[in-house]
Amino acid sequence: MVEVSMASAPAERKSFWSKLGPSNKKVFPWVLMAPTLIILVGIGIYPFLYALNIASQNIILSKPYIPRFDVGLYQYQLLMHDPEFWKALRVTLLFTIEAVFIEFWLGLGLALLFQRSIRGASVMRIFILIPMILPPLVAALIWRYMFFPGAGLVTHYVGGLSEWLGFGQIPFLSDPTLALQTLIFVDVWEWTPFMFLMLSAGLASIPRQPYEAAEIDGASAWRVFWTITMPLLRPAILIAVVIRTMDAFRTFELIVVMTRGGPGNATTTLNVLLTKTGLEFFDASKAAALSLLMMMVIIVMSFVFIRVFRSKTEVAE
Amino acid sequence: MSIITKYGFAATIAASFVSVTPVMAQTEYQKKFEGVELNVMNPAFPQFAALWKFLPEFEEQYGIKINVDEIPFDQLRQKSLVEMQQGTGRVDVFAVDVMWLAEYAAAGFLAPVKQYVDNPELTAEGYDIDDFLPRVLSGTGVYNDTLYTIPIGAGPVGTTFRGDVAEAAGFTLPEKFDDSFTTEYMYEAASKVHNPENGMIGFANVPGRWFWGVTYLPYLYAFQTPETKGDEYVGEDWKITINNQHTIDSIDYYVSLKDFMPADSANWGIGEATQLYQSGGAFGVWNYQDFITGFFEDGGNATINGKNKHLHTPAGPHGVIDPWFGSWGMGISVDTEKKEAAWTFIQWLTSKAIQERAIEFGAGPSRHSTYKSETVAEIAPWWTDTYEFMLTETNPDERIRTPEWAEISDIMGEEGNRVWIGEIDAAEAAANMEKKMTNVMRRGGYFIPGRTDLPKQLWRDLTYYDRLPSEWN
């Protein structure tokens, strides 16, 4: 009896591990994915649920003496009735759409240009990529000094030229409309190289045969661009635009360094508002609600992009 | 005016070593702190830079190492609060602006210091807490009758003008606190010398939205009548009262100084305005008295040094002069385990000897003995004529000391700056301020019926602040 029981214990252990082994085709893939899933839950799902929990309370970190209680959806309701939120959303969308639109067309133009054989193309490519390589904070500081009132390179020369022409000084960062456009200009300077890089890779992956067929058929360059290049470039465009849109939507360093959301609140984006709410007023619950709303907006925007591009790709196919 | 030059520093330092009270002696008890390291968080301001020149002496005398974390002023509150609410005690000593004390103290982030002041093993006999000006000490460090910080300096906000430029234009500027220096006078004087084509603007103002809580306030106050003083922000029932004609007039006046400013100045902070003045491009500029040595009289700028007239902010149309004072106190984190070593550092830093010696490098006084010092009168005479004002006129609560001040200040700056850029007019700004500030106070629980633990409105009876420093808890 004793011998039997001793022999059965290792057999049971073996059967447990064998259940997780490669022979179990249902469970084994999950075993392999487990570490990744655990990390995903830890850094993605848990913080999301935590933010949901905080957003349903009234936590102000700098006022620990205020009693904490559940407020349901009150923080979202507050934001929905806050003109500052809507203004920041408008500014964010304007910044994102305008910047990404310009970056896309400039990047595409450069990518098409560099498809041709240009002397010194490899060196020029490196120079084009420099703005993207710079840390955003450094880029923002460089431009802040370029636009420094009176003494910056841009304000001095462009402002001087403008005065010479009789238009007076240009309030690059002091006029509400111009300040946002100045920020967009700097964003375009910094991130057009990214579009260029992504779209160049996309162009390089397009096969030559459709172009040769079009050449034989005598199609114009314009027609070739719209009927061959653009449809075949769509997957690369989708990736580049979605990544840049998400990134532009969250732009922070550039705005904080150059205008800090001013003048007034003309350049206060949702991310700047979030920082003010969370790290200046320490209203953790309102900030959590705001960040969840921002996440929703990004998801919706990405979803719309993907749907539009997919439907167009299907039509093209 | 006798301004010390860089070349004269060495001689003056040597003289100060022998002429003033010796630094605090280390007690037997304090020897156990040898080897301790303290982390200090403070703003990147000239008065702190002046004090830090003496750190090697402290480290040598006490064996305590000081790590200074110098933060830009506009980020300091945020960084301090992040550290404080984490409760790690990583930062042992915080520099606390008078306007943030209520917020930090109400949240329990600072340790009361009276127990250390009264402990002879930690505080040298000659420390003499009653040597501090009562309003400066209580205004800087007392919240709910409890002492949390010790001031390293305090001073009023004012204006600095180029006396030589005024004389060249055929007029002489009035003296500090003179009733004839009014808002109207200031505008006219600036107009007389305003000549941007020749590189001289009338007044370098600070319209950036983050600075209104410091730079616009003196005008908000100056535009009150003697009857409305004290009601600038809130009434006795804590209801916001800022939407009134005095506020509108003060915003209009502040924005009228735009007439002298370059087109691209809406985001200007203290740095931009001061730089322009330092380069000789402006006739007048905002000042804080603790910055005078560091910014205007450091001996290294021949364009302006010795040519300045340091005045108060102008009196308003009803003769009201702003009683504003700013100050910085050093407080101990409630979470640090090195409180006694931290106090050892604070009592050394705020001692008579260090305070007097640091004046020449740009620190400000907060002690009777420093104000009355002949050395100070010689090297920084603008302090001597401020003594009476700091004793009797000044109001620590002009920026109401409630935990909500940071938000109130932000609202004021945002709406004011919108007027500056022409987005709205002063009347709309005042109405928006009232609405937004009311929301802030509502969230702070000020309108809960029957609530009895609201802060006291101490600015209505300033005798509260006149208690002897040693009498606080």
Q: What is the pLDDT of residues A266-289, one digit of tens each?
A: 999 999 999 999 988 899 999 999
> Does the structure show a pLDDT above 70 at A7?
no
DSSP 8-class letter at B200: B
Distance to chain B for A83, nearest Cα, Å: 11
Beta carbons of A263 and B264 less than 8 Å apart? no
CB of A311 within 8 Å of a chain B CB? The answer is: no
Question: Each residue of A190-209: pLDDT tens digit?
Answer: 999 999 999 999 999 999 99
Question: Each residue of A85-97: pLDDT tens digit?
Answer: 999 999 999 999 9
- Is the CB of residue A95 less than 8 Å from the CB of residue A180? yes
Six-digit token pair at A232? 């075949």
Six-digit token pair at A211? 């172009």
Residue B166 sits at the vertex; the CA angle it makes with B162 and B168, to the nearest 5 degrees, is 115
What's the whole-number mean pLDDT along residues A75-83? 93
**Which of A63, A169, A176 lies closest to B403 in CB terms?**
A63
Query: What pLDDT is stored for residue A161 in this prediction?
Result: 87
Q: Chain A to chain B, count of Cβ pairs less than 8 Å apart?
A: 89
**Which of A62, A172, A262 lies closest to B208 in CB terms?**
A262
Q: What is the pairing mode between strands B37-43 and B65-71? A: parallel
SS3 B234: strand
Q: How far apart are CA B35 and CA B441, in angstroms?
A: 46
B437: Cα separation from own chain's centroid:
23
Q: How far apart are CA A173 and CA B240, in angstroms?
A: 32
DSSP string, A26-64: TTHHHHHHHHHHHHHIIIIIHHHHHHHHHHTS--BTT-T
Beta carbons of A280 and B85 less than 8 Å apart? no
Contacts of B81 in chain A (CB under 8 A): 61-62, 282
Query: Measured between alpha carbons, how far is residue B420 from residues A144, B64, B207, B254 in Å?
Result: 21, 49, 7, 9
Beta carbons of A176 and B403 less than 8 Å apart? no
Q: Which residues contact B88 (CB under 8 A, 6 or more apart)?
A: B335
Taking each helix axis from N to C terminus, what angle separates A230-249 and A176-204, rounded to the nearest 10 degrees?
140
What CATH fold (topology level) applies to the domain A74-316?
MetI-like fold (1.10.3720)
pTM: 0.83
> Does the structure show a pLDDT above 70 at A142?
yes
Q: How far apart are CA B71 and CA A47, in angstroms?
A: 30
Q: How far apart are CA A72 and CA A112, in angstroms?
A: 53
Six-digit token pair at A267? 């350049």
Q: How far apart are CA B104 and CA B102, in angstroms?
A: 6
What's the whole-number mean pLDDT along residues A240-268? 92
Q: What is the pairing mode between strands B157-162 and B308-312? A: antiparallel
CB of A173 within 8 Å of a chain B CB? The answer is: yes
Closest alpha carbon to B466 in B411, B391, B379? B391
Q: What is the mean pLDDT of chain A?
A: 88
**Which of A170, A174, A176 lies closest to B265 in CB terms?**
A174
pLDDT classification of A312: cutoffs 50, 70, 90: low
Closest alpha carbon to B322 in B104, B468, B155? B155
Q: What is the pairing mode between strands B284-288 and B65-71? A: unpaired
What's the whole-number mean pLDDT along residues A104-108? 96
Distance to chain B for A103, nearest Cα, Å: 27
Beta carbons of A176 and B85 less than 8 Å apart? no
Contacts of A64 in chain B (CB under 8 A): 85, 107-108
Dihedrals phi, psi of B151, to nearest 5 degrees: -70, 140
Query: What pLDDT is stored for residue B1 in this prediction?
Result: 34
Closest alpha carbon to B346 in B112, B29, B145? B112
Query: What pLDDT is stored for residue B11 in this prediction?
Result: 41
Domain extents for chain A? 74-316
Query: What pLDDT is stored for residue A317 in this prediction?
Result: 58
Query: What pLDDT is stored for residue B258 in this prediction?
Result: 94
- Identity of the amino acid at B440: V
Query: What pLDDT is stored for residue A316 in this prediction?
Result: 58
Window B:258-297, CB contacts with A under 8 Å: 262-268, 272, 276
- Is the CB of residue B286 less than 8 Å from the CB of residue B215? yes
User: Which residue numbers in chain B have pLDDT < 50?
Assistant: 1-22
Q: How far apart are CA B364 and CA B422, in angstroms?
A: 38
Instruction: Please identify which residue in the block is written with the tokens 């520099």.
Output: B95
Beta carbons of B267 and A259 less than 8 Å apart? yes
SS3 A135: coil
Beta carbons of A173 and B410 less than 8 Å apart? no
Window A:14-73, CB contacts with B under 8 Å: 61-66
Six-digit token pair at B145? 């009758």
Radius of gyration of chain A (CA): 27
- B contact test, residue of A84, A163, A280 with most B CBs within 10 A: A280
**Which of A172, A174, A260 lies closest to B421 in CB terms?**
A174
- Decide if the complex's ipTM is over 0.85: no
Query: What pLDDT is stored for residue B95 in this prediction?
Result: 97
- A contact test, residue of B94, B267, B407 with most A CBs within 10 A: B267
Distance to chain A for B89, nearest Cα, Å: 16
Distance to chain B for A292, nearest Cα, Å: 22
Instruction: Please identify which residue in the block is written with the tokens 């984490």.
Output: B86
- Is the CB of residue A259 less than 8 Å from the CB of residue A179? yes
Domains (range + CATH), chain B: 6-155+329-382 (3.40.190.10), 157-312 (3.40.190.10)
Identify any residues that bridge with B132 across adjacent strands, giving them in sequence order: B367
CB burial of residue B449 (10 Å; 0-12, 13-18, 19+): exposed
Beta carbons of A262 and B417 less than 8 Å apart? yes
**Smallest CA–CA distance from A149 into chain B, residue:** B264
Query: What pLDDT is stored for residue A98 in this prediction?
Result: 97
B249: Cα separation from own chain's centroid:
25
Query: What pLDDT is stored for residue A314 in this prediction?
Result: 65
H-helix or E-strand spanning residue B286: strand B284-288
DSSP 8-class letter at B325: -
Query: Measured between alpha carbons, how far is residue A113 from residues A192, A204, A229, A235 in Å?
Result: 14, 13, 13, 20
- Is the CB of residue A17 less than 8 Å from the CB of residue A10? no
Closest alpha carbon to B150 in B306, B350, B393, B324? B350
**Which of B209, B423, B444 lies closest to A176 in CB terms?**
B423
Distance to chain A for B88, nearest Cα, Å: 15
Contacts of B77 in chain A (CB under 8 A): 280
Closest alpha carbon to A183 in A304, A64, A268? A268
Q: Which residues contact A26 (CB under 8 A, 6 or more apart)?
A: none
**Which of A63, A149, A264 lies closest to B418 in CB terms?**
A264
